[in-house]
Structure 1
Amino acid sequence: MTRAITRRSGSAQTPSRRTALRAGAAFAAGGALALLAAAPSQAAWPTFTTGAAGDHVWGLQRLLGERGYWCGAPDGYFGGLTEQAVYALQKSNGLTRDAIVGRDSLRALANWALPPVLDNGPGTRVVIDLQRQVLTVLRDGVLRLTLNTSTGNGEPYEYYGREVKATTPPGEFAVFSTYTKGWQTGPLGDLYRPQYFNGAIAVHGSDHIPPWPDSHGCARVSVAAMDMLWADIMTTGTPVRVV
């Protein structure tokens, strides 16, 4: 839908003008961050973490998105989705998983540092990397997307009267069952729009995705990321490789 713009007298800017200027500032901020990442190690480093706001955060979000570390649409606020993207960046590059963006994280962004491609198969494929704790999406062997995930924590738990271990077994699988309506209540808790690929193990949305293994065996992603995966990436039959 086209939005009408009302022009005003004086120096006030129209909404579209303000948006263009802020986008330009964010673009410049992203370039500044990339240049800063190449600076000598003794340079003064800014840090960004949850709660930060401004054009530099918008620039950071743009850099993350360009490299496939999905954080939604840039909005200039370091919220939950940006935190998840920073976790994914840090995990993929062996950095401290603290969601604090400083010298090392900025350098990884500037150098286009990405996780390894672990599946060269045709079409759209999902790979869950247990060591790095990231979920990647590949299309014809090309890395398109990297998400923070949390898989089985290895702890014992009771499941229908028997004790089992919280693991996410490696192997080659495919999505065989989905639940599209929203939150699904299961014996171990609530799962958002799960896509099952190995028995009761699914990729699903959650409100809690820490940067360490924490689940009963499923691969958790953010609720927003799960909606994004449903939109045009995962469906019944999508190959899922756990390595």
Structure 2
Amino acid sequence: MRGTVRRSLITGTVFALATTLPFGIAPAVADPTPDSRHLPLPDQFTVLRTGSRGIEVHNAKKRLKGLGFFPGNLSPLYDSALRMTVWAFQKANGLKPVDRIDLPTWQALLRPRRIRPLVTYAERERAEIDLRRQLLIAWRDGKPVLVTHISTGARRPYCEKGHCGFASTPVGDYRVGVRVPGWSTGILGAMFYPVYFNGGIAIHGSTLVPRFPASHGCVRVPLHNALDLYRFLQPGTPVYVRRPEALAGRAMRVRGERRPRIPKARPVEAPHRSYKNSSRPGRSTGHRTGGDAGGHR
């Protein structure tokens, strides 16, 4: 009985925090300080997993949305969209991505880390792609407004459907170019709302977004985040791709340093459209492979 009451109190706390935050805007929270006096006891939480259902799942989704991690619908079901959203939140908070909301994840939901930019000289409205943590962060007015789990280039050679290359998502500064609404197909598979930013490399929704880099070079995002990113990433929006461990030991850029010029996005021929222009993935008429862009080399 006591454990049930404690769980209810904590759930109510999470719900109260969620309802006071503007949806889609991540708050500028301070990094948590290790103070055991304010940490909840282990029996105050219920571990949630795929298939779990109830008010605690709904409240967790609402809290994540308030922090800028969009879990899709706010139903009381722990579905695949919430599963990948939890991965993103765990990675952003220095936790190992697991298929559950456990005690460390509940504690992070109560006291989340501040999301820090990868690029200090970046424009205030931009997308940042973290290849190490496999995260994409959309920024507006200097604030993170959408954080999502991604899967980028697998960093290995491939030969598929008569096309060979090296699966890589190159580090660099780019800008959004061609955008294609709905489902489209390229030489290596299907894409949902692709946004090209580096030749044939695009950010696009996919049915297959594992916890590891697995694409041919594109940036795969969960289907439930693809349309929001498509609307955010207008032509000309900067896209910064970084691998933070590769920057270890290099001096941080300081304020006042000259900002490098970001080249315009290289033109790419829009891929063949074989799907209806619909935001409903189930209306596609062909086979969806979760593949990548038609112009990718």
Q: TM-score, normalised by structure 1?
A: 0.80
Separation (CA, whole Å) in 2 of partners of 1:94 and 1:29 = 23
How big is the shift at 1:224? 2.1
Q: Which residue of 2 aligns with 1:82?
A: 82
Alignment of 1:31-180 (within 5 A): 31=15, 38-40=39-41, 42-43=42-43, 45-120=45-120, 121-158=122-159, 163-180=164-181
- Asked whether 1:187 is paired with 2:187, we answer yes
**Contact 1:30–1:56 (8 Å) recurs in 2:** no
Q: Which residue of 1 aligns with 2:12?
A: 28
Separation (CA, whole Å) in 2 of partners of 1:159 and 1:183 = 21
Gaps of 5+ in 2: 1-8, 19-37, 243-297
Partner-residue secondary structure (3-state), 1:104:
helix
How big is the shift at 1:234? 1.1
Select the structure with the greater relative contact order (CA < 8 A; seq sep ≥ 6): 2
Q: Which residue of 1 aligns with 2:265?
A: none
Q: Deviations over 1:116-136 (max 9, x none)?
A: 222353342011100110100
Separation (CA, whole Å) in 2 of partners of 1:64 and 1:116 = 17
Partner-residue secondary structure (3-state), 1:177:
coil
Q: Which residue of 1 aligns with 2:237?
A: 238
Stretch deviating more after TM superposition (158-167 or 53-62): 158-167
Separation (CA, whole Å) in 1 of partners of 2:99 and 2:187 = 31
Separation (CA, whole Å) in 2 of partners of 1:225 and 1:84 = 10
**Once the two structures are aligned, what percentage of the paired residues are identical?**
34
**Root mean square deviation, CA, Å:** 2.5
How big is the shift at 1:75? 1.6
Stretch deviating more after TM superposition (155-164 or 99-108): 155-164
Gaps of 5+ in 1: 1-24
**Contact 2:168–2:217 (8 Å) recurs in 1:** yes
Separation (CA, whole Å) in 1 of partners of 2:194 and 2:178 = 8
**Contact 2:58–2:77 (8 Å) recurs in 1:** yes
Partner-residue secondary structure (3-state), 1:227:
helix
Q: 1:44 to 1:112 in 2, by over 3 A?
A: closer
Q: 1:235 to 1:138 in 2, by over 3 A?
A: same
Partner-residue secondary structure (3-state), 1:91:
helix
Separation (CA, whole Å) in 2 of partners of 1:44 and 1:123 = 40
Separation (CA, whole Å) in 1 of partners of 2:139 and 2:192 = 23
Q: 1:103 to 1:200 in 2, by over 3 A?
A: same
How big is the shift at 1:29? 6.5
Q: Deviations over 1:168-192 (max 9, x none)?
A: 1110001111111x22111111111
Q: 1:226 to 1:26 in 2, by over 3 A?
A: farther
Q: TM-score, normalised by structure 2?
A: 0.66
Separation (CA, whole Å) in 2 of partners of 1:119 and 1:138 = 11
Q: 1:175 to 1:205 in 2, by over 3 A?
A: same
How big is the shift at 1:114? 4.4
- Opposite residue 28 of structure 1, the aligned amino acid is G
